[in-house]
Copies of this chain bind each other. A is one copy, B any other.
């Protein structure tokens, strides 16, 4: 299949969230326009996004909320549970480990790792923090598909290398540093200071 733009995947994920809300409200069908207004986009965009994957609607009627939800879940790979590990049990790592929003969307935290012996052994919402030396062994055993990186910037690249070597193929990084991964591994970074800098830019350029 043709490569799909990340912006499209991002919107599909948003559409799914709105569909679930709609479903909870008891609606049976939804039009591209309604979906668009929720997501801050246009009806044409919604239809174009969906058209890359097939044809899900009924002309004159719209989309079946439940059928489209199911299709989007399928497309996004959310019909299953993903096992996730978190490395770094500091402030942000602990918050992520306890975040209910992940589990609700099918991402289960199966391990949390740290170097600091003061943190190892503690329990974060049912998952107990282990020493990072157990990382490789656990990855081989538990086969988590996704790893979250919540360690200091300078520890991030060596950690990525270990994770990749152990077989992790998708990484979400929170350390504010550029990282490289070999082909075949997907890396995404969330950089919060950078988000604030974009706001800063917007504030000083408010007049345009």
Interface residues of A (CB under 8 A from B): 1, 3-4, 6, 9-10, 12-14, 16-18, 38-40, 75-78, 82, 84, 91-92, 94-96, 98-99, 101-102, 104-107, 145-146, 169-172, 176, 178, 184, 186, 188, 190, 192-206, 208
Query: What are 10 of the A-B contact pairs (CB < 8 Å)?
Result: A9-B197, A14-B178, A91-B95, A91-B99, A95-B95, A96-B192, A99-B192, A169-B203, A169-B206, A190-B190
Q: A99-B192, A176-B17, A194-B14 are in contact. Are A186 and B199 (CB under 8 A)?
A: yes
Q: Within the complex, what minimum Cβ distance (angstroms) separates A158 from chain B? A: 17
Q: Specify which of B98, B196, B204 is in contact with A172 (CB 8 Å cutoff).
A: B196
Within the assembled complex, what's the spacing in Å between the Cα atoms of A98 and B95?
Answer: 12
The interface residues of chain B lying within 8 Å CB-to-CB of A204 are 76-77
**B91 contacts A201, CB within 8 Å?**
no
**A200 contacts B76, CB within 8 Å?**
yes
